Amino acid sequence: MSEKLYLDDLYVGQKFVSEGYPLDEAQIIAYARQFDPQVFHLDPEAAKHTFFQGLAASGWHTASISMLLVTQSIPLADGVIGGGMEELAWPQPTRPGDVLQVESEIVEIIPSQSKPNRALVRVLSHTRNQRGEVLQRFRPKMVCFKRPA
């Protein structure tokens, strides 16, 4: 979808689906080295003896990829501007070889009482792998603007 969307174009129940994003072991380890240096994100052999029983991407890595996919799949004219997060959960780990895809649905549009040109848009998003398993569930609120007059 290349058309830029404004608040006027959005409605409750509207759905968006991203392209797939392949994730490999090298990406998981590189992200972990820089941002989340824990053994279950860094060492495939040592990770076998941890809670995750194998190499797992940092939840923050999954969240970062999810953000990329949201910005690509919900083409808001003024950008994806965060207005808060109501939920962020990782029901199961993201693994090397997973192909991530984000499915998002608008669940509520809350017009601003003080600024009539904008609203908070509540979204429910699921990041799934190639088997359809939910790796991340999140409920962001996005600030959206009406089309300029």
Residue 1 confidence (pLDDT) above 60: no
Q: Given this model, what pLDDT does residue 3 score?
A: 87
Q: pLDDT tens digits, residue range 32-57? A: 999 999 999 999 999 999 999 999 99
Task: Convert the pLDDT of each residue in 91-140 to its tens digit.
Answer: 999 999 999 999 999 999 999 999 999 999 999 999 999 999 999 999 99
Contact 89, 137 (CB under 8 A): yes
The answer, yes or no, to whether residue 24 has pLDDT greater than 80, is yes
Q: Across residues 17-29, what is the average pLDDT?
A: 98
**113 secondary structure, DSSP code:** S
Distance of CA 18 to the CA centre of its chain: 10
Phi, psi of 122 (to 5 degrees): -85, 130
